[in-house]
Amino acid sequence: MSQKRRSSSEISETFADHLEQHGVSRRGFLKFCSSMAAALALPAGSADVMAKALSAAKRPTVIWLSFQECTGCTESITRSHTPTIENLIFDFISLDYHHTLQVAAGHQAEEARDVAMKNAYGKYLLIVDGSIPTKDGGVYSTIAGRTNLNMLEEVAAGAAALISVGTCAAYGGLPMANPNPTGAVAVTDIVKDKPVMNIPGCPPIGLVMTSAIAHFLTFGRLPAMDDLGRPKAFYGDSIHDRCYRRTFYDQGLFAKAFDDEGARKGWCLYELGCKGPTTHNACATMKWNEGTSFPIESGHPCLGCSEPNFWDAGSFYEALSVPQGRVGETVLKAAAVGVGVGVAAAALNRSKKSAAVEGRETMTVEDLKKES
């Protein structure tokens, strides 16, 4: 991730060359491809497709712009837990501009961005974290004397695709919370003519970010997304769909306080405000800190950090009473007849998921490329 100017040999280096130079065995590489394909929920046989494509992939330019953010997203991605993923992805991509990780500063940093854009115009991947202030001409956040708005418009114009990392870039997040003093907006409120993928979360899971980058390297485009622009592989299920406390929910066993008997027995946290039924993310399956745990496993309800309107939706420690977001009419009907909101939401999500994966076992490689 150094900021040194790349030589022409580095620019033409393929992923296979890079691996060889770093002593990665063919076996290790195939293992990496298998884990990436599994993480992306690609069908059987896709690890080979990924291996072939990544072997020939040229070193891509990635520009990372940080706007109104807290650096939590960068902290998360640099802790992506499988070391080989960091090595393979982050050592390979040319992260030509990233405020936190780059060595260069001041004019040198801005010059590096200019050069990277010029050399890879129309081909580079642009990653953004943080929201964009638009009030009063966007003066509330500037870099090198330029507003975030101005810089985003300029850099996005030459990008092949964008990834909005974190809830702030994806949906506005905390800076957009009422009264939104800076007029903060999401990337998709500004960029309308490029493919943009959202990887929301406060912060998002590092492995989700690296997997999305691996997909871009493999197929030259972003993975299949849901109606909120999130990769389906990681956001297709709700937390509730995959929560290990779900059996307690189904039995009606709820902790009523953080220190009561139910809490000690690991019962469901729904009545303590868990937003798992209406929150889509991979926390319950991929977990955090090298797969150690996730908030619910540590005894804290999900706050819904990867959904739009996080913060303003509030009610962090109040039980869900009204169906939120995308859950919809089925839940309202179910709630009306006394069925738990979460049960109905989960059932709806499961049926959507089944439809999405149906038939994948018989997909061809060409199908895979089309779907991906």
Binding-site residues for [3Fe-4S] cluster: 283, 302, 305
| Interacting span for ligand SF4 (CB under 6 A) from 63-71, 114-122, 211-219, 300-308 | 300-308
Binding status of residue 231 toward ligand SF4 by CB under 6 A = no
Alpha helices, DSSP H, located in the chain: 8-12, 15-21, 26-39, 46-56, 72-77, 83-85, 106-119, 148-157, 166-171, 187-190, 206-219, 232-235, 239-242, 246-251, 261-264, 283-286, 329-336, 341-357, 365-371
Residue 2 or 78 having the CB closest to ligand SF4:
78
Which amino acids are annotated as binding site, given as ranges?
70, 73, 168, 202, 240, 243, 268, 274, 283, 302, 305
> Given the DSSP bridges, would you call strands 142-143 and 132-133 parallel, antiparallel or unpaired?
unpaired
Binding status of residue 308 toward ligand SF4 by CB under 6 A = no
As measured in angstroms, the least distance from the Cβ of 290 to ligand SF4 is 15
Site for ligand SF4 in 109-128 (CB under 6 A): none
Q: What is the C-alpha separation between 154 and 149, in angstroms, rounded?
A: 9
Give me the residue label for tokens 């990544």. Answer: 54
* Residue 233 and residue 215 in contact, taking contact as beta carbons nearer than 8 Å: no
Structure tokens at 324: 């939120």
| Interacting span for ligand SF4 (CB under 6 A) from 8-16, 45-53, 56-64, 265-273 | 265-273
Indicate which single residue of 19, 57, 125, 269 sits in contact with ligand SF4 (rule: CB under 6 A). Answer: 269
> Closest-CB residue for ligand SF4?
276
Binding status of residue 281 toward ligand SF4 by CB under 6 A = yes
Structure tokens at 274: 């868990």
Q: What is the C-alpha separation between 146 and 103, in angstroms, rounded?
A: 21
- Counting Cα atoms < 13 Å in the Cβ hemisphere of 294 gives 23
Binding status of residue 341 toward ligand SF4 by CB under 6 A = no
As measured in angstroms, the least distance from the Cβ of 306 to ligand SF4 is 5
Binding status of residue 295 toward ligand SF4 by CB under 6 A = yes
Indicate which single residue of 60, 206, 277, 308 sits in contact with ligand SF4 (rule: CB under 6 A). Answer: 277
Indicate which single residue of 42, 53, 283, 286 sits in contact with ligand SF4 (rule: CB under 6 A). Answer: 283
> Given the DSSP bridges, would you call strands 184-185 and 132-133 parallel, antiparallel or unpaired?
antiparallel
Indicate which single residue of 53, 120, 296, 344 sits in contact with ligand SF4 (rule: CB under 6 A). Answer: 296
* Residue 216 and residue 128 in contact, taking contact as beta carbons nearer than 8 Å: no
Q: What is the C-alpha separation between 133 and 122, in angstroms, rounded?
A: 25
As measured in angstroms, the least distance from the Cβ of 340 to ligand SF4 is 9
Residue 219 or 254 having the CB closest to ligand SF4:
254
As measured in angstroms, the least distance from the Cβ of 165 to ligand SF4 is 14
Binding status of residue 246 toward ligand SF4 by CB under 6 A = yes
Q: In what order do the strands lie in the sheet with 196-199?
A: 94-97, 61-66, 124-129, 159-165, 196-199
Q: What is the C-alpha separation between 91 and 83, in angstroms, rounded?
A: 11
First to last CA, the chain: 28
Indicate which single residue of 41, 163, 268, 368 sits in contact with ligand SF4 (rule: CB under 6 A). Answer: 268
Indicate which single residue of 113, 230, 245, 326 sits in contact with ligand SF4 (rule: CB under 6 A). Answer: 245
Size of the site for ligand SF4 (CB under 6 A): 25
Q: What is the C-alpha separation between 369 and 87, in angstroms, rounded?
A: 25
Binding-site ranges for ligand SF4 (CB under 6 A): 201, 239-240, 243, 245-246, 249, 268-270, 274, 276-277, 279, 281, 283, 294-296, 302-306, 342
